[in-house]
Amino acid sequence: MSSSRILLVIGGGIAAYKTLDLIRRLKERGFSIRAILTEAAGEFVTPLSVGTLTAEPVFRELFDLTQEHDVGHIRLARDADLVVVAPATADLLAKMANGLANDLASTALLAATSPVLAAPAMNPTMWAHPATRRNVAWLEAQGVAFVGPEEGLMAERGESGLGRMSEPLAIVAAVEARLRPAAGALAGRRVLVTSGPTHEPIDPVRVIANRSSGRQGHAIAAAAARAGAEVILVSGPVALPDPAGVTTVHVESAREMLAAVEAAPPVDVAVFAAAVADWRVAEDAVQKIKKGAGGPPTLTLVENPDILATVARRTEGRPELVVGFAAETENVLDNARAKLARKGCDLIVANDVSAGGGGVMGGARNTVHLVGSGGVESWETMTKDAVAEALVTRFAAALRPRP
Ligand SMILES: Cc1cc2nc3c(=O)[nH]c(=O)nc-3n(C[C@H](O)[C@H](O)[C@H](O)COP(=O)(O)O)c2cc1C
């Protein structure tokens, strides 16, 4: 699964102004972007605008000692999961097709090993020219992907035809189709995700908590939203920002989490990634419990509602797909299988959260096992974002197709 780093090569065409919006749209979706500005591109947009939007240094010169020392043109090309050329001018396409390497952009393009997506933009006569036709055909044959150009009015007065650069959102869709194959897969679906720990009050200042950071649940909510779903995230107390494009409901305790889940509109997929406390204090104190002569207080615990089982066993309004999470410290798979049967859900995502499990709780990476009625599938260790993307692809595939 891709970690979604884009090398953006900006060519010297008037459409470079649209590339500024493209950067913003890609950043909104969580891509990290390094940009190379050709000399001609610098006539159309400033390095300041590009650098401010990418929040990265802007790369311009092949023979720049500082940048060559810090990153280097080969690493710049190799570090990316996708190279996007926008606008891809006639000149840049000609250089790419002929293997020229006489500036930073063309050298990086020649050194790149990741897939390349080009968004051409030029006057229709230039696009129709046999030299451009030949260059594009050759590049396509080498696996370079193209988005656009589109029909429309040119910057030149009165001219129209095939040559306009595709709109930023069309380029974003082409990027996502390559880096996030799940994009659009959940369009028209509603997804509920719970995430984070719960806090069970002992008194007004003390709680029973757990180490869940919410990173995996939040990543799933964000990935489902990117896949086109309407997403409701019910989050326990976490130190994470609300994901973009997601309706987030903040709760503290297990009972509040259940109430928020019950109040949500019907959903197609429900993912219970939150680490809900199994027990709460039978009666939390109204005033702060004072340290006193009576010694430490005795806390009587009672069981919390089982949110996963409550939803999985609904007779009416059950989501088509109910997914539970099992954080285990031992016998990960056996416990997950037992949980699948006990809760009545469709899938359990199991992970090892013991000290030997690689610091999953609060960490950035996760090793998960998918336990379903068909058996167990163990995935390699990935970032939590990559796990989220892959899970969302799974959820989309498991849903009955809509007529
Ligand atoms: C105002 C203006 C607009 C231009 N627009 C385009 C364009 O849209 N597409 C194109 O291929 N070239 C365009 N050019 C020509 C390129 O800037 C020129 O070919 C340049 O060498 C391309 O450099 P590059 O390889 O950095 O893209 C334009 C030139 C000017 C002066």
Dist. CA 175 → ligand 1 center (Å): 24
Mutate which of 50, 59, 85, 89 to test ligand 1's pocket (most atoms within 8 Å of Cβ)? 89
- pLDDT on residue 1: 35
- The whole-number average pLDDT for the span 153-165 is 81
- pLDDT on residue 182: 65
The question of whether 210 is a catalytic residue gets the answer yes
- The whole-number average pLDDT for the span 35-39 is 97
117 in Cβ contact with 174 (< 8 Å): yes
- The whole-number average pLDDT for the span 238-243 is 93
Report whether pLDDT(126) > 90.
Answer: yes
- pLDDT on residue 174: 84
- pLDDT on residue 359: 62
- The whole-number average pLDDT for the span 124-136 is 96
Nearest protein Cα to ligand 1, atom 22: 12
Q: 312 or 380, which is more confident? A: 312
Nearest protein Cα to ligand 1, atom 31: 13
Nearest protein Cα to ligand 1, atom 19: 91
Nearest protein Cα to ligand 1, atom 28: 13
Taking the C-alpha atoms of residue 231 and residue 244, their distance in angstroms, rounded to an integer, is: 10
Among the atoms of ligand 1, which is closest to the Cα of residue 95?
Answer: 25
- pLDDT on residue 181: 66
Dist. CA 89 → ligand 1 center (Å): 6
- pLDDT tens figures, 358-373: 566 767 778 899 999 9
Mutate which of 8, 9, 14, 110 to test ligand 1's pocket (most atoms within 8 Å of Cβ)? 14
Sort 330 into a burial class: Cβ within 10 Å, 0-12 / 13-18 / 19+: exposed
> Mapping DSSP to helix (H, G, I), strand (E, B) and coil, where does residue 225 land?
helix
- pLDDT tens figures, 282-314: 998 999 999 987 899 999 999 999 999 999 999
Among the atoms of ligand 1, which is closest to the Cα of residue 89?
Answer: 11
Instruction: Provide the residue type at 224 as one letter.
Output: A
CATH number of 5-179: 3.40.50.1950
Residues with CB under 6 A from ligand 1: 11-15, 38, 40-41, 87, 89-92, 121-122, 126
- pLDDT on residue 356: 56
Mutate which of 91, 93, 102, 109 to test ligand 1's pocket (most atoms within 8 Å of Cβ)? 91
Among the atoms of ligand 1, which is closest to the Cα of residue 40?
Answer: 26
State what percent of residues in the chain have pLDDT above 90: 68
Among the atoms of ligand 1, which is closest to the Cα of residue 91?
Answer: 25
Q: What band does 2 get if pLDDT is binned at 50, 70 and 90? A: very low
- The catalytically annotated residue of 102, 123, 135, 210 is 210
Dist. CA 24 → ligand 1 center (Å): 23
**Can you read off the two tokens belonging to residue 68?**
């060559």
Q: 88 or 115, which is more confident? A: 88
As beta bridge partners, residue 370 has 349, 377
- pLDDT on residue 161: 87
Dist. CA 301 → ligand 1 center (Å): 72
Distance set, CA 7 to CA 58, 65, 118, 144 (Å): 11, 20, 12, 14
Dist. CA 14 → ligand 1 center (Å): 7
- pLDDT on residue 74: 84
Superfamily of the domain at 182-398: CoaB-like (3.40.50.10300)
Same fold, 5-179 and 182-398: yes
- pLDDT tens figures, 307-340: 999 999 999 999 999 999 998 888 889 999 999 9
Q: What band does 403 get if pLDDT is binned at 50, 70 and 90? A: confident
Among the atoms of ligand 1, which is closest to the Cα of residue 39?
Answer: 26
- pLDDT on residue 53: 97
The domain segmentation of the chain, as residue ranges, is 5-179, 182-398
Among the atoms of ligand 1, which is closest to the Cα of residue 163?
Answer: 8
Dist. CA 127 → ligand 1 center (Å): 12
What angle do the packed helices 90-98 and 104-111 form, to 10 degrees?
Answer: 50
State what percent of residues in the chain have pLDDT above 70: 95
In this structure, what are the phi and psi dihedrals at residue 281, rounded to the nearest 5 degrees? -75, 135
- The whole-number average pLDDT for the span 202-222 is 95
> Mapping DSSP to helix (H, G, I), strand (E, B) and coil, where does residue 92 land?
helix
- pLDDT on residue 62: 83
Q: What band does 3 get if pLDDT is binned at 50, 70 and 90? A: very low
- pLDDT on residue 156: 67
Q: What is the dihedral of CA 257, 376, 385, 10, to 10 degrees?
A: -140
